[in-house]
Structure 1
Amino acid sequence: MMWRPIFFELSAQALDLRLFLTQCLTDTAVRPQMEVLSRRRRRMSKLTVDSNLLAEIRHRVDLREPNAQAVESVAFMMSQHYDVENKAGPFECVVDSATGVGKTYILAGLIEYLAGIDNPARNFLILTPGRTIRDKTIRNFTPGDYKSITGTMRSEPVIVTAENFNSPSVAAAIKNTSRTKIYIFTVQALTSQTGDGRETHDYQEFLGASLYEWLGNLHDLVILADEHHCYRGPAFSRTIKNLKPEVVVGVTATPASADEELVVYRYPLAQAIEDEYVKMPVLVARKDDRSDDRTKLLDGVTLLHHKERMSEAWAAENGRIPVRPVMLVIAQTIDDAKAYRDILDSEAFDDGKWIGKTLLVHSQLTGEEKEKALADLDAVEDPDSPVRIILSIGMLKEGWDVKNVYVIASMRASVSEVLTEQTLGRGMRLPYGSYTGEQMLDTVEVLAHERYEALLAKRNTLTQQMIDHRILTEIRTTGEGTKVARKKTFEAESSFHFKETPSATTEEQRTDSQDKIRSLEERLKETEDRTVDIPHEEQTHLPLPFREQIEIPYVQRVAQPQPISLNQVHDMKPFEDLGKALTHEAGDTLTRTVLKSKSGKIRGHRAEDTVEALFLDTPLETSRNGLIKHVMKIRGVEQRANELRAAGSIVDTVIGAMGGSASQNLSAYFERAAKRLAAQVTDQLRDFASTSVTFGEEVRLATLKAPRKARRRHEPNHENTFERSLAYNGWQKGAYEYAWFDSSPEYKAAGAIDADENVVVWARLHRGDIPITWTQEGREYNPDLVVIEEIDGVRTCWLVETKMNKEMLSADVLAKKKAARTWSNTVNHSGQVSGKWKYLLLSEDDVNDAAGSWAQMKDFGQ
């Protein structure tokens, strides 16, 4: 939360006196009230978030779902910082939101929230990396401008810029403590005392200080850093330190890797495309060998022709003003750009259709030529603009994006360079505000320099540009009953796939270097007995005879070439959603159209009488078997018993979601259900053919009885603080008398598991106990714990893996999780095990927040 500082209740005259005293006193003497605020913070102990205000802002400002979630995440984590953890200011975080989704609305939502809470902030500083974004932001927050978004903002902010801050009306507003101010400046205007920064560092008589010093003496300053990734450097850090803000929020689509810990919300491009908030990128390449500049430009304008015709037809049909498609050509040098312009401006190119329709923009433009180019660029969205092709030399990156960019041609860069958000983002905004249903209008074409076959060879590189994970902030109640805000990660996968299957890689093709690769985790486990407590005498432990034995299933990885497997279908929620979506009243009405003649023309009309459709009453088991057959017919699925059981599990999920109407609905809509089910399964399997591991059908069961050997000090109980050098006793349900651990989360998780009344037996797993192959090269890993629990007569066998927070999103951890879930599905569908095997991935926050509750760990984990 924000606090309204004491001096905000003073008059303007007293404020001037305070500024004078500020200049005379030392830094330690001028902020006594900050100590008061700090003491006030220390008295806080719970989350203080105005949920009603957040909901009202979401509705009033009409925030898209991801933008509303971003604002909420900042509010939750700010309160966690100040109110729960009692930390000193500033609270600093980063919002990572895909280009084109509307980062400016996130800024507006944050301003509305922080200016609307009980103790509001009145001073917001928006920093931009350059004048282009600064000018765009000023327009966004200037009432009356056609690009303004302030119509729904109740805070009615006064916009303060380098051009107006010392004008009489704005100067009065700056000193008015009841008015909300938005200061919009380039970062250079504050980090430097020369050039753009000279005016902000000059003494201003009406303030009694420079604007920079004035901002530094505000106790409710909120800094909103647009394109935050541009500010990595000592000058920005020094500026933040000098301004002493309460809150710093960075907003960007490409955060610096060093700022990953600051990210409180992430909405990646893959998710934005799936949710239809931005255009779908389409890669365009040629199957022939032609890659000259003229051919590429001809391909680009050919696409423009098609898109223009489609836009005009759709707009006429829907009563909209047609959007005129534009192509962005990205050159590497000014000379290259001029050469492309000469090609486009010639009669010999496309019959001269593009003469006078190009705009060249580069950094060496000066004077009137530059002003005209910038004015033409700003008017590109205007239907009357003659500009149809923009040629740029890396100048149009952050901060410039218009809705009608429909084609991007990067003339020299490889496609992997083009598919970055700095470049691709220039064409992601939706021209009509939402999807039209016409694919040609809902896509942005990316002209690749590579041939089609070259793109296929790079398929992994291309999809990785769009594959990312989401970060949301959730409120959870810990085992101690305290509400806390925590970051939670979700995998988000791109919906773009290449259908061609890569050539198989055999075991013999592995190199010696690949065979020798080991993760840090594996290296630690290999050497743990050699690195801790060597002086202690080695002790051997066998499973306790009075504890129930743990039966471990073992399966073998299928070597390349690898078929897909239905056991790789991990996410069942889409199938639950499908079942609910397929639930309709059986016996729907027939659609009947009567053909009538009038004035010699035949027209169709809806029939006046309603006729109910009849349906065939098919037994549910017959429908179920039919759906299983459709799943088994999916290309690549082998006709094996294990796969058949996996198909049955998927089908049962759909039927279960349909509830009591399943029989009637499947009787009436079987073909529709079968088609959509097969499509959903295919979507989940599409990526696995080249990236994941499958396991054979044969399952071998063996009792866990391997001896445990350790040279370390043996503790009689496990009630002490965790030490990696200790072996702990005192377990009530452990398969072995003693257990030792690699990390504190493992140790705490074991304590919670051992104390749970539903747990039958558990064991700390060692190398080789349950080796799960997680790469095609044959690399193996062992989860941390195996847990057998029984609830209401139903047994569940858990494989538990714990990780530090910072490791949760590593590629290795995600790949291991995927392999372990495929392993679990394979075992469960083998027909050879009792109970159901599941995999649980826990972060250190998940373990700590559960406060000793195994039940809550299962709820928190992935």
Structure 2
Amino acid sequence: FDYLASLDDLIVFMDEAHRYYASAGAKAINDLSPVLGIELTATPKTTGARPRDFTNIVYHYPLAQALQDGYVKVPAVATRRDFDPSRYASEELEKIKLEDGIHHHEYVKAELESYARNHNARRVKPFMLVVAQDTRHAGELKQLVETVFEGRYKDKVIEVHSNQGAEESDDAMKRLLAVETDDHTEVVIHVNKLKEGWDVTNLYTIVPLRASASEILTEQTIGRGLRLPYGTRTGVEAVDRLTIVAHDRFQAIIDQANDAESIIKKTVYIGDDGEDGIPMNRPAVFTAPPVGELESIGSPITRNDAPFDDGVRQTPALDENRRRIATIALRVAQDEAPRLNTARDYVATETRAKITARVERDARALMPQQGSLEGMEAADFISDEDIANIVDSVTSRLAETTIDIPQITILPTREVNYGFNDFDLEDLARQKLQPVDQEILVRHLDDNRTHVIQRGERMGSEARPEDYIVRSLMDIDAIDYDEHAAFLYKLASQYVAHLKTYLDDSGVENVLIHWQQTIRDFIFAQMKAHMWTTPTDYTGKVTQGFQVLKPATFTGIEVVDFRQTPAAGKRVHDLVFSGFRKCCFPLQKFDSVEGELRLAQVLEDDGDVLRWMKPAPGQFRIEYQDSRQYEPDFVVEIAEQYLMIEPKRASQIDAEDTQQKRKAAERWCQFANQAAADTGAKPWQYVLVPHDEIVVGRSVKFLTDRFGSR
């Protein structure tokens, strides 16, 4: 302590800073006399009966913003349909909530298993967190959980509270720290001992069986389960959601979530000068016309719809009539694009003559004729020669600033046949679905959507249990019942046999009725792993040689020169970049500094590069796995060819998704090159570059030779 206090450059980082405001903690920090103290906390308020918000916040990133940005799970609250908690004694209500919590836990376990199989992803083992009233209550809950469902959760429950003996506490803490990987722990019961310092990615179900002692405890408990197991949202609701089972508090939680002061909804804006405000700049909306349009007809760059000067591009000095003619010329040129092979055809004599004739006709309908009033000729009349010169200027700029990206339709050349190799169901022991009496409703706290995880209606009874499963599998388009009937019944029989190991006949039928989709997805995920398909060839047809570029819109805090590396504390996503000489647009945004921004700097410096751009959504029609669309990051034109360049984090180069995109892009290039051979256009090449290979001074030729497709 004395050594630290003697330092004249001491900086103290204080995690869980709301704990440092007690008198002893504050005195210890003050005695150290640091030159700077950085406080970190998810709950910027003092503890105790009357918490006060901190007044020294310099940066605030609330849960509401993290939810909006997609960095955390979506919290939801669950109850039963038409449930009246007042009809039940507290002990009975707790048992119902625990049972429904386990129902949800098993549901999520099955969904996670299905997702891992379908996406060849790491398997995630979920667990359930139960919040108890006190240590005695925790012990009672542990006994209850270990006795429900025929005792299948015995030895899979741990208690964590301050009243445990040293040995018992050490064992519980070891299992708690290993809960993300330990298959033996499925339920954690705690009593106010997890308030700070512990969060995990595989918590999916919370069952609160106590009145919250403070707002902090509620926020901290929910915060335990908000981390995403795969680092990003998957688009699968069950994988992306944290559910709180709260039959008796359902309406109260919904009301609180819809309250402007709720932790789920509350957002503080930086930039507000009010007493409770925190400075923050509001993003602006920038619209950037293509350079060809900007330099030919004078379409301005705008910031929040007001003209904006990027300091590089100069708009032409056109009077009102000439600007009107130039605008007509641009529209006619755009209409002509589908009939041209390349933008270079704009400068062909025949094309220019055709465009000029249309512009003259349309312009004469709008412009005054050479009149008889003195002075009108000089002020208003535009000659045919003037119109021809304007058309030449517009078409020349379009030809010089457009990259020819053809529209290609790619189709398989023959029917694709498929089937399933024989196999036996695996991992049945991981799925132990339970009979249910009522639907369980899940309400999303961010947008109030309701999701039902079990089907409550009773369907018509099937002749035998296996029929429930087979009928459900028949709803999948990829399964041909006539071809695979015997195989489907084999798998269904294996699943039914598994259910009979822990349920009686009525329980088996209940599960088969209420959990049909979950069972179907579990089986079909394994079927897909054993699916075979006949290889097929593809054919590609160019439907249009190029597209006229449209204005692009970006949002950002400020515009900076692309030569500037973003200053510390500034996110590249918040910035719009300008200063380009070779880009087809005067402004651009980038997703990364080391990959995309650095590549833009390389392209601007390389003498071989004629022009480049980041394609707009829909500009390429490249389909890859499961009909998903792929948009490459950069398109570059050099003297002898076009390049489709994808900078990628080095650790992701070999990822399945990256390689699927690469194959699809190479197939697209193959058909583009076949068409280019017929029209004399430049060929295409795909270049997948690790981000750490993109450094200033590197040439495009070096990157292409080393990382380009062959």
Provide TM-score, normalisation by structure 2: 0.39
Bigger relative contact order (CA 8 A; separation at least 6): 2
Give the TM-score normalised by structure 1: 0.33
